[in-house]
């Protein structure tokens, strides 16, 4: 069933108009505002301000403004920057979302509940001529992958599991290399990444037959010295998400990959009886499978998410991991000399 | 965008009402009627008759009857059993499809063009209260895979490439074992297989995040001696479809797999520069990746598609392949003692 509301490749895919007004709802739990914080930290130049209900206690620190005021100052979309239990839109948000539409802003969301399924929003947006952009809606018009080798260089972040730093690592590498003058582009493969980059494709929301083709589209031919830094998803060792990870590996045909791991995590998220694989196993499997579309694939280094560890203990673990594997290892959040060595390896 | 026409798991997924009336259009090319022939050969008890335009020269040999006559004799759906260039529905078919709806039959299609996007069909079906069943529409309501080990036994057909006999092999094994009194069920993962089985899930049309979960649903817990024979898709070595193949491998958690190959095919279909892998490489890769969800996975044997080969040459190749790999090898279409030995291995 195709319909006019379905985003298509021909229609520009998920391309998000900015600047954004970040919507925080009535959120009181910082953990649920990670999207808004990520946008502030990684896409500050795309964020004009924030809007929240009086009950909200969480803030990004950006200037507070109403949708009408934001629109008057050039905002083009209102991005829902908070999640809540169950991924639904509470009734208390509705007047604010409708105010955003009335102000002429597009609404952007990556939640399970789709904006376009909520009749009052759909009708208001149609009447005002604005868009409801649901980043989890499968794109139409995607190609089947060809496997053709593309020009330019590519780096993919892969993981021992999901939700442990693949997006953050890709962003930090792209930013770090750009600061060194390298022509590097972050390529977003998930909802939050797309909001940060302003474009991209949510690969996990693509129909399986087209998943690899979508990744090929995400990282097109480029100049020989250009480096695409592609946000990975899931893990080849995750019993639910490995096909998404394989689509990213085959489609991005990376020259380099960085393995992301969270020390201390023992079980694969959301499963029972699936241990987190060793970094060594992930390196081996990634090379074995990645060789299909890029025989020269190799591991550039390791990104450790040492969040919550004491500084010296983290530094020791990073050093020991790098030494054991003979590869640069770093925590991009901690940065420092270790991260500079990881950037050196990504630049080679 | 959800809508009432989207098939859902809660709504029974793709469950096809039979008996079928097979629609052959105005087809004059037997190669384009493979679906109808497959239904006649593998689901004869679900097929009541055929319906064709006067211009058609191809026939299944089943009794010809109008949609109204078929409905009077108990038919419940009209299945489009022919493909044509581009997968579109020509104007000449429209009166016949509308006659099917008028007779109260559901329409079933696996074409790229979706029945539900054709306004006259949509309106007629809504008015008559019949269904338009597009087997390529992604199912809604699918679960994320858990990786939990299920009861019962499972066999998956895998391939060196796509379109070389994985469906046929699974059907032949399920039929052969059933004839021996084994409690075996064919599980369909593609459009034609679903029409044959009357149910199933087109895995390539599932959103990537849910692909493995869909396979888990396709082959549920069963009695200890029950064998699900699951139709594979694509190939782990196909640069476009490997994620679909991996979802089938992880989700079906097979105890046994049979590798399907077509001797003489050198390049992966639809690609340039991708050689067909050796059977040995497919065995190795399937075990390596399949171990994640079933550590006891092993290869039961080899299915060779020797279509077009002379009989003695085919028999020699089958024998040589089996001997070289130390595994039973057979062409299920040729059957014979070699196929019985393959069935023996699937039964163990």
Q: Which CATH number goes with the domain that contains B162?
A: 3.40.50.300
Q: Does B292 sit within 8 Å of A239, measured CB to CB?
A: yes
CB contact under 8 A, B134 and A6: no
How high is the mean pLDDT in each 10-residue block of chain A (348 residues)? 57 87 93 92 96 95 98 98 80 96 96 90 97 89 95 98 96 98 97 95 93 97 98 97 98 98 94 96 98 98 97 98 98 97 96
Domain assignment present for residue A2? The answer is: no
Contact between chains at B270 and A148 (C-beta distance less than 8 A): no
Ordered alpha helix ranges (H), A140-210: 166-179, 191-197
Q: Shortest CB distance from A211 goes to which of B117, B146, B208?
A: B208
A114 CB within 8 Å of a chain B CB: yes
Domain boundary among A72, A102, A134: A134
**B260 and B193, same domain (yes or no):** yes
Tokens encoding B93:
């078919």
Same domain, B86 and B224: no
Residue numbers of B between 193 and 222 with CB closer than 8 Å to A? 203-209, 211-213
Instruction: Tell me the longest C-alpha to C-alpha distance in chain B.
Output: 61
Domain edge (last residue) among A81, A100, A134 = A134
Residue B100 lies in a domain: yes
pLDDT of residue B4: 41
Quote the CA–CA distance of A199 and A189 in Å, as a whole number: 9
Compare CB distances from B207 to A146, A205, A293 and report the shortest one's residue: A205
Are A118 and A198 part of one and the same domain?
no
B210-227 tens-digit pLDDT: 999 999 999 999 999 999
Q: CB distance from A4 to chain B under 8 Å?
A: no
pTM for the full model? 0.94
B163 touches chain A (CB under 8 A): no
Residues B287, B161 share a domain = yes
Whether A105 and A163 map to the same domain: the answer is: no
List CB contacts (< 8 A) between A114 and chain B.
1-2
Contact between B160 and B237 under an 8 Å Cβ cutoff? The reply is yes
Q: What's the average model confidence in pLDDT over B311-338?
A: 97
Q: Which residues of B touch A274 (CB under 8 A)?
A: 147, 292
Nearest residue, CB atoms, A209 vs list B5, B241, B272? B241
Close Cβ partners of A24 (under 8 Å, ≥ 6 residues apart): A33, A36, A50, A51, A52, A53, A56, A58, A59, A60, A81, A82
pLDDT at residue B136, as a whole number: 85
User: Under 8 Å CB-to-CB from B120, ≥6 apart: which residues?
Assistant: B94, B98
Instruction: Name the residue of chain B whose CA is nearest to A113's CA.
Output: B1
CA A138 and chain centroid, separation: 16
Tell whether omega for the bond before A85 is within 30 degrees of 0, i.e. cis. no
Same domain, residue pair A110 and A259:
no
Q: Based on the domain organization, do A287 and A216 belong to the same domain? A: yes
A61 vs B: CB within 8 A:
no
Q: Which of B101, B134, B167 is the last residue of a domain?
A: B134
Is B8 within the bounds of a domain? no
Residue B140 belongs to a domain: no
Q: Report the CATH number at residue A39.
A: 3.40.50.720
B240 contacts A147? CB cut-off 8 A: yes
| Total number of domains in chain A | 2
Residues B318, B205, single domain; the answer is: yes
- Domain membership flag for residue B320: yes
Write the CB contacts of B75 (distance below 8 Å, at least 6 apart in sequence). Answer: B19, B20, B21, B48, B49, B67, B105
Determine whether the interchain pair A243/B239 forms a contact, defined as Cβ–Cβ distance below 8 Å: no
Flag whether A168 is in a domain.
Answer: yes
Examine the domain organization and report whether B313 and B220 are in the same domain: yes
Residue A6 in any domain: the answer is no
In this structure, the answer to whether residues A171 and A32 fall within a common structural domain is: no
Same domain, A197 and A333: yes
Residues 247-266 in B contacting A (C-alpha not used; CB under 8 Å):
247, 250
Say if B143 falls within a structural domain.
no
User: For a pLDDT cut of 70, what percent of chain B falls above it?
Assistant: 97
Check whether residue A100 and residue A171 sit in a common domain.
no
Residue range(s) defining the domain that contains residue B241: 153-347
* Phi, psi dihedrals of residue A82, rounded to the nearest 5°: -125, 150
- Residue from B203, B169, B202 nearest B186 by CA: B169
Q: Could you say which residues from 262 to 291 on chain B have a Cβ atom under 8 Å away from some Cβ of chain A?
A: 268, 270-274, 285, 288-289
Confidence grade of residue B1 (pLDDT, cut at 50, 70, 90): very low
């Amino acid at each position: 069933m195709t319909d006019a509301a379905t985003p298509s490749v021909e229609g520009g895919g998920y391309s998000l108009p900015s600047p954004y007004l970040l919507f925080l709802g009535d959120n009181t739990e910082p953990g649920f505002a990670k999207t808004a914080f990520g946008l502030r930290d990684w896409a500050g130049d795309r964020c004009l301000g924030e809007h929240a209900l009086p009950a909200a206690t969480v803030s990004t620190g950006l200037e507070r403004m109403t949708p009408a005021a934001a629109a008057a100052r050039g905002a083009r979309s209102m991005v829902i920057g908070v999640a809540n239990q169950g991924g639904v839109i509470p009734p208390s948000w509705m007047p604010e979302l409708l105010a955003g539409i009335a102000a002429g802003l597009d609404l952007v969301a990556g939640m399970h509940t789709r904006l376009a399924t909520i009749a009052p929003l759909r009708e208001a947006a149609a009447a005002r001529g604005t868009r409801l952009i649901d980043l989890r809606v499968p794109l139409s018009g995607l190609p089947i992958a060809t496997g053709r080798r593309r020009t330019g260089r590519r780096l993919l972040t892969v993981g021992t599991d999901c939700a442990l730093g693949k997006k953050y690592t890709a962003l930090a590498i792209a930013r770090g290399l750009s600061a060194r003058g390298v022509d590097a582009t972050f390529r977003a493969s998930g909802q939050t990444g797309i909001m940060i980059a302003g474009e991209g494709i949510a690969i996990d929301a693509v129909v399986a037959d087209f998943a690899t083709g979508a990744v090929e589209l995400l990282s097109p031919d480029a100049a020989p010295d250009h480096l695409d830094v592609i946000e990975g998803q899931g893990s080849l060792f995750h019993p639910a998400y490995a096909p998404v990870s394989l689509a990213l590996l085959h489609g991005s045909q990376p020259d380099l990959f960085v393995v992301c791991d969270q020390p201390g995590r023992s079980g694969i998220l959301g499963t029972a009886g699936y241990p987190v694989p060793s970094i060594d196993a992930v390196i081996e499997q990634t090379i074995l499978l990645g060789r299909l579309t890029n025989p020269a694939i190799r591991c550039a280094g390791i990104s450790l998410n040492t969040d919550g560890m004491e500084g010296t203990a983290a530094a020791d673990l990073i050093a020991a991991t790098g030494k054991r594997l003979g590869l640069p290892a770093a925590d991009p959040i901690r940065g420092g000399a270790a991260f500079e060595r990881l950037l050196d390896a990504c630049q080679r």
